[in-house]
Amino acid sequence: MMQAALQREMAREQAQRNLNSPLLDAARRREDEQDSGGEE
């Protein structure tokens, strides 16, 4: 029973990670652009 709950939790986290990854990549790219622009 505990294992099933853990699997459900892991599946939920993985789904959130899959949803968030494009947003995180876009945010990282934006930060990189701001950093390079600030240095110049």
Q: Can you give the residue ranges of every domain in the chain?
A: 1-36
Please give the Cα distance from 23 to 39 (Å, whole number).
Answer: 25
Q: What is the pLDDT along the chain (40 residues), one digit of tens a residue?
A: 689 999 999 999 998 888 878 877 888 888 888 777 655 5
Name the 3-class secondary structure at 40.
Answer: coil
pTM above 0.85, yes or no: no
